[in-house]
Amino acid sequence: MKIYDEKHIKNIVLLGAPKAGKTLLAEDMVFEAGITHRRGTIDGKNTVSDFHEIEQERGNSVFASSMHTEWRDYKINIIDTPGFDDFIGEIITAVRVADTCVMVINAQYGVEVGTALIWNYIDQFQKPVIFAINQVDHPKSDFDSSLAALKERFGSAVVQMQYPVDQGENFNAIIDLLKMVMYKFPAEGGKPEKLPIPESEKERAERLHNELVEKAAENDEKLMEKYFEQGTLDEDEMREGLKLGMIHHDVFPVFVMSAKKNMGSGRMMGFIDNVAPAPIEAKPEIKNDGTEITIDPTKPTVLFVFKTHLEPNLGKLSFFKVISGEVTTNAELINHQTGTIERFHQLFIMDGKTRNPVDKLVAGDIGATLKLKDTYTNQTLHAKGYDVALKEIEFPKPRIRTAVVALSKNDDEKIGEVLQKIHQEDPTLQVEYSKDVKQLIVSGQGELHLAVCKWFLENHYKLHVSFNSPRISYRETIRKSGTASYRHKKQSGGAGQFAEVHLKIEPYYEGMPEPTEFPVRGKEVVDLDWGGKLVFYNCIVGGVIDARFIPSILKGIMEKMEEGPITGSYVRDVRVMVYDGKMHPVDSNDISFKIAGMMAFKDAFMKSEPQLLEPIYDLEIMVPEDVMGEVMGDLQTRRSLIMGIDSKGSFQVIKAKTPLAELDKYSTTLRSLSQGRANFNQRFAEFSTVPYDLQNKLERQAHEPALV
């Protein structure tokens, strides 16, 4: 296979909302370039990119898939990404290594929630953007509304390169405003005929062409001067201006197509070849120390691993971008994060599941290798003596949780190990054993994300599991002060056990005055692992309890705070004053005072108006205006407090505070209410009091005898 240099490589990522047509556009591109000899279909389950069994089973992309074309002396690396934001990790990593983002827009719907969400990451990385308005052949296509929505959302940088002569079922021709020709396609699609622009379209085409010339001139002083002198620019000068505008995020070209009928993809590929920036022209990568590193074939080798996938019967497949230098077979590079020396036994260019062996890949190119020992997503590999670490991708926090239970006890340990492997592939899926709720918890981006995780557990790893609603991590505290005493006495023949502890407890808050009721002999402030504080005072006078037993009393109180009296949840924000007690010269010991302290604390706690606290999350929901009422109504059933509503383009952003207990399966409900057009983010906000009736219910449930 031909090796292309850094000037003749173009790296693009196909992005867009579900059903925008990304996978079929990828099919058109590899077919037009002759990489494949027939175009696959979703229904036929034979597309290049959606080759995984689960993707064919579900009928939509789950993973980002790499492929390439060779088009007019350029190599175009293409990454096709999922549309559902459940798989945002696949999308972010692809955006990171691409040099141009092709945002595919469904001409029926224009800017969708998924489009707006993905834009946040495009904007973060400041990647050049091309908009491809697809499905203009659909009966409900509305190109003008889609274009207007793009301009409203993304501003004056949106610049029209083409428009359809007709749309809907009669679509077969595109006016190209750069080349000023009409492309007319045969009924079956494919290579178009170049024709003069019809008289009926000349006035519109000239007006839009002039707008395009002016936009191209804006990006360079010399071009602007020439434009003022001559009143126009030639095609090469326009390309130069558009490229500069794309690099600086000031120009977002708009193309027209029907991927289903293979109309328009070839022209966009030509634009990618001629105008979209090559890796060497793109903005530099950022290192961990904040400095820049440019794509440079003359420097020592640096690779960024952006994706890891474990293939059954094949092993670990690692996808990477060459940042500097070159990588060859049998090369040895050092993993910056682990210090491991990795040897590249094989190199591939991937076309879906097809591995095309190569001997070398140069700076700017994207490739893959098999069976790296200790390297995973988001890590940097570099040549010996050239210590470089690229800035790691910050992945979004999980939005949904589930408890995982093995159906066979023999699989308990294995499940944890396998889930860690899946996490290494997909950092947006997190795994932890929660000591708080005593469950193995998997957290992800949505119901689909977790469903895919379960599918892999059962189908690839042959582990049968149950995904259950996780327990809620409540907290316990008190609302008023209370006192109690407890005498622990035990006699069993020899030395016995004796301790008596008197204590007072109060609600604790930051800045509260020191106690004056008792003389303070000692104070200890404990920052609790689960949040909040315990402030412990030794107020013993006259030696009624020896100082050596005070730590044991504190230990007993701490143990009780780890399993609170109401529901067994953690206790927080309490201060305790031990002010009296008794001891025995022979029978008193540490264990006696630990038990006495624990039981006295429990009794005092229950006399002090115990209060259950629940975790509250901040929700931010982006929703189309036409379904906002349904979403708001559902939030009210979830004990939500609406904090405000903002506008963002054509969407409404609802901000609310909602108890975590009410968010189980919320992503599924929101998707159903909005027909998949809404999106939400959540983050922990605070602990807040549980309503009295709900607290009583939870307390009863906690103390009911377990069913055998």
Q: Which domains does the chain have, with CATH numbers?
A: 9-212+249-282 (3.40.50.300), 286-382 (2.40.30.10), 400-471 (3.30.70.870), 480-599 (3.30.230.10), 612-695 (3.30.70.240)
By residue count, the chain amounts to 708
| Tokens (6 digits) for 172 | 């077969």
Q: What percent of the chain has pLDDT over 70?
A: 99
For residues 401 and 442, the answer to whether their CB atoms sit within 8 Å is yes
End-to-end alpha carbon distance in the chain: 66
Within the chain, what is the greatest distance between any pair of CA atoms? 113
pLDDT value for 35: 86
Convert 229-266 to b/e letters by CB count within 10 Å (16 or more is b).
Answer: eeeebeeebbbbbbbbbbbeebbbbbbbbbbbbbbbbb
The mean pLDDT of 281-302, rounded to a whole number, is: 94
At 528, the pLDDT band (50, 70, 90 cuts) reads: very high
| Element housing 598 (H / E) | helix 590-606
Confidence category of residue 705, pLDDT binned at 50, 70, 90: low
Angle between helices 199-217 and 235-247 (to 10 degrees): 50
pLDDT at 115 over 60: yes
pLDDT at 708: 37
The 10 Å CB-count burial string (b at 16+, else e) for 527-539 is ebeeebbbbbbbb
Q: Which pLDDT belongs to residue 707?
A: 42
CA 62/CA 549 separation, integer angstroms? 60
- 559-593: per-residue pLDDT in tens? 999 999 999 999 999 999 999 999 999 899 999 99
Residue 619, classed as helix, strand or coil, is strand
What φ, ψ does residue 430 adopt, rounded to 5°?
Answer: -115, 150
**Whether pLDDT at 706 is above 60:** no
Contact 307, 318 (CB under 8 A): yes
Average pLDDT over residues 212-239: 90
Confidence of residue 491 (pLDDT cuts 50, 70, 90): confident
pLDDT tens, position by position, 199-216: 999 999 999 999 999 999
Please give the angle made by the CA atoms of 15, 20 and 22, to the nearest 5 degrees.
50
- Looking at the DSSP bridge assignments, the partners of residue 68 are 77
> Residue 317 pairs with which residues in a beta bridge?
309, 370
CA gap 91, 96 in Å, rounded: 9
